[in-house]
Structure formats: C-alpha cells, structure tokens
Amino acid sequence: MEAVETVKKEATEEFHQLTRAELFQQLEQRIRDIKAEPPIQHDPENVLEVHNLLKYFPIKTGLFSKVTAYVRAVDGVSFNIKRGTTMGLVGESGCGKTTVGKTILRLTEKTAGQVYFNGIEIHDIPKSEMRKLRPKIQMIFQDPYSSLSPRLPIAEIIGEAVREHNVVPHEEMDAYLDQVMKQCGLQPYHKDRYPHEFSGGQRQRICIARSIALKPDFIICDEPVSALDVSIQAQIINLMMDLQKQLGLTYLFISHDLSVVEHISDTIGVMYLGNMVEYASKEQIFSKPLHPYTEALFSAIPIPDPDVKMERIILEGSIPSPANPPSGCKFHTRCKKCMGICRQVAPETKEVEPGHFVACHLFD
C-alpha cells in the first residue's frame, strides 16, 4: 500500500508541474502532427485499417464557448482487420471502445487520424459518397430494445433501409425479407409484430437481420450479447459465426466478456483510457499476455471450479481523469511494475514478437 500511495503522490506532483494551458497546447500540437501524417499504404487483404485515430471531445468555457481542454476518448488507436475475420476489442467501461466503433462508422467525426475501409478514407469523402457506402458498414447496438423503433412492425424495421438503398427490386422485397429473417432464426409470420412482442434474444436477432439485410462487408458489434442470458448469448454468438461463414462478413466485436471474445475472435485489441495497450492474435493474447493491464484483466476471468483459488491482480491505484491524465504511461498510477520512466514518457507501441504489439516500457 505504501508503494501505491508513493506512486499516486509522485504522479499528482508531476501532473501539477504542467499548467492547464501548457497541456492544452501539447494536445493541439499532437492533433496537428497526426493530421500532417502521410496516408498509409493500403493492404487489399484488410477490410479496415485504422491508424493513429484520435477522438477528442472539446471542453468549452466562457461567454464565447472557447475550447480550453479536451476529453481524450480515443488517443492514437491503430489496428487492421483482415477480410472475413473477427477482431475483439476489450477493456473496462469508459476506455473508448464504443467511441472507436462510432468514429469508424462516422456516426461521430474524428479529431485526427486515418480510417480506411476497402482502401477508402471514410472521413474524407463527401456525404453523398458516404451515403452510398453506408450499406457496406453496419452496426449491431448493445441494447436491442432501445435500438428498435416501438412504432414500426418488424418488416418495416428490417426493410426500411433495404428499400431506401435499393438493395433488391420492389417486387422481390417480401421474399427477400423472408429469406433474411429465416437466416436469423425468425419466422415470416413475425413480420407484422412489434418489438415489445419479442424476447430479448429475438430482438437481437431482429437487429442482426436489419444489419445483414443490406449485404454489408463489415459489421461493428457493440456488446451485442451483454444484455442477454448466458444460454441466449451462446445462441446469438453461434448465429453470428454461422452468418460470417455464409456471407463472408468481417466483425469488430466490442465486449467486456473475455470468454465470449476468446470464442469468436481471431485477433484481440486491449484498450485502456483511449489507448491500445496490446494487440495480437487470440492465441498470443490468451497464452502469453504481456502488458500488465492485460494480465490484470485476464486474472479476473472466473474459473468454473470451486476448488481452484483464483490469483487476481488487484488494481489499487486511482484512474486518471480522461480530460487531464498525467504525462507518461496512463496506466502507471495503477501498475505494480511501474518504473521511473513510466511517469515521464508515454510508451511507444512495439512489435515484441511477430504480430504481437505492446505499449509498455518493460519491452524497451
């Protein structure tokens, strides 16, 4: 406990050495530097390529709403997703996982960085071109009930975007909706029912049907099973994996449940306070986690054996404010392996072994 208190005290003293204005100038310069970076080289094997993605929410004060600080929701995230694979994105609540998904979809505009979908920079194209691209990029939201309009029947919910984007001719609409619903485990007689008449698992199937009806290449799944019972979770995960094989889909799967992520993912990224601290294949992450934060996350996975005592890693330090985190490594105030350099210099992401990237000074 004394060591933790010492680290917290040193971090606080170091943070107060920077004035709010100096920190703001540093962030402004970081945004300019990333905006000035040259375009990345597109790999045809990748559906999605994200490089140094920033999403800062401005804090405005005064009569004229002058920007005086930023909340760093996403702070330099980079990863690629190969066609037909699934990337799991994990981390504690508030680390920026959902913001990454929304920024990729352009539901919220990026601050800086590059987001390429099939070689097209999503944030650089005009809205008319983005509208044509929308059917190819879809999202399944966390709460199936709030993401479905209670005033529309299921046929209208699934078919509205299909009709708007002319996915199939009008005379083939009914047959196409029947086919999509059957793929997702729904029956044709469900078309005239409303969302409140379905269970949670059925509502999530409706959300999945609405997504695949537009024939997308890429789907962002924002904790699609977290609101469901465990038995229903397994059914929905198996459905998504079957649809991926049938339709050649690519997923970004955002979740808290590490056992679900292990089951469905090919690669995994671990986020902490807007940063990607570790990124590797599923086998590398689960067999040999390298970052102290990843080790702490995996130590919290429950073991289904009452005779086995879990050796949990307890994170006792305080979480820095996302608006004004201290300089250096954002995790160092909670890390028992913290070194002197961690409090002063933010670690760069390094490829420790082929395909295994870690942002930690332990591997300098």
Hey, what domains does the chain have and what are their CATH numbers?
2-363 (3.40.50.300)
Give pLDDT, residue 22: 79
Question: 112 with 31: CB under 8 angstroms?
Answer: yes
**Rounded CA separation 42/44 (Å):** 6
Q: What's the order of all strands across the beta sheet hosting 112-117? A: 66-82, 46-61, 112-117, 120-121
**How much is the average pLDDT of 28-52?**
93
Instruction: Judge contact between 237 and 251, C-beta under 8 A.
Output: no
Mean pLDDT of the chain: 88
Q: Give the whole-angstrom CA distance, residue 325 versus residue 345.
A: 13
Looking at residue 9, its pLDDT comes to 53
Among 47-61, 96-110, 140-154, whose mean pLDDT is lowest?
Answer: 140-154
pLDDT for 111 beyond 50: yes
The per-type count for the chain, helices as H runs and strands as E runs, is 11, 12
Task: State the Cα–Cα distance between residues 119 and 40, nearest whole angstrom.
Answer: 10
Q: pTM score, two decimals?
A: 0.89
272-315 pLDDT tens trace: 999 999 999 999 999 999 999 999 888 887 777 777 766 778 77
Task: Report pLDDT for 301.
Answer: 77
Whether the pLDDT of residue 16 is over 50: the answer is: no
In 83-131, beta strands by DSSP E: 86-90, 112-117, 120-121
Per-residue pLDDT tens digits for 339-360: 889 888 889 999 999 999 999 9
**Does residue 246 have a pLDDT over 90?**
yes
- Residue 162 three-state SS: helix
Average pLDDT on 313-331 reads: 75
More confident residue, 147 or 175: 175
Confidence (pLDDT) at 15? 46
Residue 2 confidence (pLDDT) above 90 = no
Specify the higher pLDDT residue, 217 or 6.
217
Residues 6+ apart with CB under 8 A from 15: 324, 326, 327
Residue with tokens 């691209």: 133
